[in-house]
Protein backbone atom coordinates (compact mmCIF):
# COMPACT_ATOMS: atom_id res chain seq x y z
CA UNK A 1 0.00 0.00 0.00
CA UNK A 2 1.37 3.37 -0.92
CA UNK A 3 -0.97 5.42 1.27
CA UNK A 4 -2.96 6.61 -1.75
CA UNK A 5 -5.60 3.88 -1.91
CA UNK A 6 -9.26 4.89 -1.58
CA UNK A 7 -10.66 4.57 1.92
CA UNK A 8 -12.74 1.52 1.02
CA UNK A 9 -9.64 -0.31 -0.22
CA UNK A 10 -7.71 0.64 2.90
CA UNK A 11 -10.48 -0.27 5.41
CA UNK A 12 -11.79 -3.39 3.75
CA UNK A 13 -10.12 -6.74 3.70
CA UNK A 14 -8.96 -9.39 6.09
CA UNK A 15 -5.36 -8.18 5.80
CA UNK A 16 -6.16 -4.82 7.45
CA UNK A 17 -3.99 -4.56 10.57
CA UNK A 18 -7.04 -3.96 12.79
CA UNK A 19 -9.21 -6.69 11.22
CA UNK A 20 -8.81 -9.12 14.17
CA UNK A 21 -10.37 -6.64 16.59
CA UNK A 22 -14.10 -6.14 17.06
CA UNK A 23 -13.35 -2.74 18.61
CA UNK A 24 -12.22 -1.37 15.25
CA UNK A 25 -15.38 -1.80 13.14
CA UNK A 26 -17.49 -0.80 16.13
CA UNK A 27 -15.44 2.37 16.63
CA UNK A 28 -15.61 3.27 12.95
CA UNK A 29 -19.35 2.57 12.87
CA UNK A 30 -19.95 4.65 16.01
CA UNK A 31 -18.03 7.55 14.50
CA UNK A 32 -20.08 7.41 11.31
CA UNK A 33 -23.32 7.03 13.26
CA UNK A 34 -22.39 10.02 15.40
CA UNK A 35 -21.78 12.16 12.31
CA UNK A 36 -25.07 11.03 10.74
CA UNK A 37 -26.95 11.82 13.95
CA UNK A 38 -25.28 15.23 14.30
CA UNK A 39 -26.18 16.08 10.68
CA UNK A 40 -29.78 14.94 11.18
CA UNK A 41 -30.15 17.14 14.28
CA UNK A 42 -28.40 20.22 12.88
CA UNK A 43 -31.59 21.83 11.47
CA UNK A 44 -33.09 21.82 14.97
CA UNK A 45 -31.14 24.55 16.77
CA UNK A 46 -27.91 22.63 16.19
CA UNK A 47 -29.02 20.05 18.76
CA UNK A 48 -26.21 17.76 19.83
CA UNK A 49 -26.76 14.00 20.17
CA UNK A 50 -26.56 14.19 23.97
CA UNK A 51 -29.15 16.99 24.02
CA UNK A 52 -31.43 14.95 21.77
CA UNK A 53 -31.12 11.94 24.08
CA UNK A 54 -32.19 14.05 27.07
CA UNK A 55 -35.02 15.57 25.04
CA UNK A 56 -36.25 12.17 23.87
CA UNK A 57 -36.14 10.62 27.35
CA UNK A 58 -38.22 13.51 28.70
CA UNK A 59 -40.63 13.24 25.75
CA UNK A 60 -41.15 9.53 26.39
CA UNK A 61 -41.05 9.42 30.19
CA UNK A 62 -42.44 12.79 31.26
CA UNK A 63 -41.19 14.72 34.27
CA UNK A 64 -37.85 13.49 35.62
CA UNK A 65 -34.89 14.74 37.65
CA UNK A 66 -31.37 14.99 36.25
CA UNK A 67 -30.23 11.88 38.12
CA UNK A 68 -32.98 9.80 36.47
CA UNK A 69 -32.09 11.19 33.05
CA UNK A 70 -28.45 10.29 33.65
CA UNK A 71 -29.44 6.74 34.62
CA UNK A 72 -31.74 6.30 31.60
CA UNK A 73 -29.29 7.68 29.05
CA UNK A 74 -26.05 6.35 30.48
CA UNK A 75 -24.63 9.88 30.29
CA UNK A 76 -22.64 11.28 33.20
CA UNK A 77 -24.31 13.94 35.33
CA UNK A 78 -22.11 16.78 34.04
CA UNK A 79 -23.06 16.00 30.43
CA UNK A 80 -26.74 15.79 31.37
CA UNK A 81 -26.46 19.09 33.25
CA UNK A 82 -24.99 20.83 30.17
CA UNK A 83 -27.72 19.37 27.95
CA UNK A 84 -30.43 20.46 30.40
CA UNK A 85 -29.01 23.98 30.51
CA UNK A 86 -28.96 24.22 26.70
CA UNK A 87 -32.48 22.80 26.32
CA UNK A 88 -33.71 25.21 29.00
CA UNK A 89 -32.04 28.12 27.13
CA UNK A 90 -33.86 27.00 23.97
CA UNK A 91 -37.17 27.12 25.85
CA UNK A 92 -37.63 23.37 25.41
CA UNK A 93 -37.95 22.48 29.07
CA UNK A 94 -39.18 23.73 32.41
CA UNK A 95 -37.20 23.23 35.59
CA UNK A 96 -39.09 23.46 38.87
CA UNK A 97 -38.08 22.60 42.42
CA UNK A 98 -39.47 19.28 43.59
CA UNK A 99 -42.03 20.00 46.33
CA UNK A 100 -41.06 16.82 48.20
CA UNK A 101 -37.30 17.50 48.06
CA UNK A 102 -36.18 21.10 47.58
CA UNK A 103 -32.72 19.97 46.44
CA UNK A 104 -34.21 18.09 43.49
CA UNK A 105 -35.25 19.83 40.26
CA UNK A 106 -38.12 18.36 38.24
CA UNK A 107 -37.65 18.68 34.50
CA UNK A 108 -40.42 18.55 31.93
CA UNK A 109 -40.82 19.55 28.31
CA UNK A 110 -42.60 22.73 27.34
CA UNK A 111 -44.96 22.78 24.35
CA UNK A 112 -42.02 24.00 22.28
CA UNK A 113 -39.95 21.13 23.66
CA UNK A 114 -42.61 18.60 22.66
CA UNK A 115 -42.63 20.04 19.14
CA UNK A 116 -38.84 20.01 18.97
CA UNK A 117 -38.75 16.42 20.24
CA UNK A 118 -41.23 15.30 17.58
CA UNK A 119 -39.33 16.99 14.75
CA UNK A 120 -35.98 15.69 15.97
CA UNK A 121 -37.39 12.17 16.42
CA UNK A 122 -38.57 12.09 12.79
CA UNK A 123 -35.16 13.28 11.57
CA UNK A 124 -33.31 10.72 13.72
CA UNK A 125 -35.51 7.87 12.52
CA UNK A 126 -34.96 8.91 8.89
CA UNK A 127 -31.19 9.10 9.43
CA UNK A 128 -31.21 5.70 11.14
CA UNK A 129 -33.20 4.18 8.26
CA UNK A 130 -30.73 5.62 5.73
CA UNK A 131 -27.68 4.48 7.72
CA UNK A 132 -28.95 0.93 8.13
CA UNK A 133 -30.62 0.64 4.71
CA UNK A 134 -28.42 -2.32 3.77
CA UNK A 135 -29.82 -4.34 6.69
CA UNK A 136 -33.16 -6.11 6.52
CA UNK A 137 -35.66 -5.59 9.35
CA UNK A 138 -34.66 -9.02 10.67
CA UNK A 139 -30.97 -8.10 10.60
CA UNK A 140 -31.70 -4.83 12.39
CA UNK A 141 -33.57 -6.73 15.08
CA UNK A 142 -30.65 -9.18 15.37
CA UNK A 143 -28.19 -6.28 15.68
CA UNK A 144 -30.31 -4.67 18.37
CA UNK A 145 -30.50 -7.99 20.25
CA UNK A 146 -26.75 -8.59 19.98
CA UNK A 147 -25.96 -5.10 21.25
CA UNK A 148 -28.43 -5.50 24.12
CA UNK A 149 -26.84 -8.82 25.06
CA UNK A 150 -23.35 -7.29 25.02
CA UNK A 151 -24.50 -4.42 27.21
CA UNK A 152 -26.36 -6.72 29.58
CA UNK A 153 -23.25 -8.87 29.96
CA UNK A 154 -21.38 -5.83 31.19
CA UNK A 155 -19.28 -5.43 28.07
CA UNK A 156 -19.93 -1.68 28.03
CA UNK A 157 -18.37 -1.24 31.45
CA UNK A 158 -15.86 -4.06 31.46
CA UNK A 159 -12.36 -2.98 32.26
CA UNK A 160 -9.61 -4.21 29.99
CA UNK A 161 -7.19 -6.73 31.40
CA UNK A 162 -3.89 -5.42 32.64
CA UNK A 163 -1.71 -4.72 29.62
CA UNK A 164 1.33 -6.90 29.21
CA UNK A 165 4.51 -5.47 30.64
CA UNK A 166 6.49 -3.34 28.24
CA UNK A 167 9.61 -4.88 26.84
CATH number of 128's domain: 1.10.10.10
Structural domain contains residue 4: no
Q: Is 26 a member of any domain?
A: yes
* 101-137 tens-digit pLDDT: 878 899 999 999 999 999 999 999 999 999 999 999 9
**9 in any annotated domain:** no
| Total domains present in the chain | 1
Closest CA to 80 of 93, 71, 89: 71
d(CA 16, CA 81): 41
Residue 24 lies in a domain: yes
Asked, for residue 134, whether it belongs to a domain, the answer is yes
Residue 165 pLDDT greater than 60, yes or no: yes
Which range marks the domain in which residue 136 is found? 20-152
Percent of the chain with pLDDT over 70: 84
Pairwise CA distance, residues 95 & 59, whole Å: 14
Q: What is the pLDDT of residues 41-51, one digit of tens each?
A: 999 999 999 99
Q: Is residue 11 part of a domain?
A: no
Neighbours of 44 (CB within 10 A): 19
Taking only the tens place, the pLDDT of each residue in 70-80 is 999 999 999 99
Residue among 60, 110, 105, 114 at smallest CA distance from 89? 110
Other Cβ atoms within 10 Å of 39 Cβ, number = 11
> Residue 164: inside a domain, yes or no?
no
Q: Is the pLDDT of residue 1 over 50?
A: no
Task: Say whether pLDDT at 82 is over 70.
Answer: yes
What's the Cα-to-Cα distance from 66 to each of 50, 79, 119, 155, rounded to whole Å? 13, 10, 23, 25
The chain-wide mean pLDDT, for the chain, equals 88
Q: What's the pLDDT score for residue 9?
A: 53
Contacts for 17 with CB less than 8 Å, ≥ 6 apart: none
Report yes or no on 166 lying in a domain. Answer: no
Across 34-38, 103-107, 158-162, the highest mean pLDDT is recorded for 34-38
Average pLDDT over residues 86-96: 96
Amino acid sequence: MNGQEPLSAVRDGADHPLAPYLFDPLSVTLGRLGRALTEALAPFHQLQPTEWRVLEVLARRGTLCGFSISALTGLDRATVSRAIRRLHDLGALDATPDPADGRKISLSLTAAGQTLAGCARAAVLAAEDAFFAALSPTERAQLRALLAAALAAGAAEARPAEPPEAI
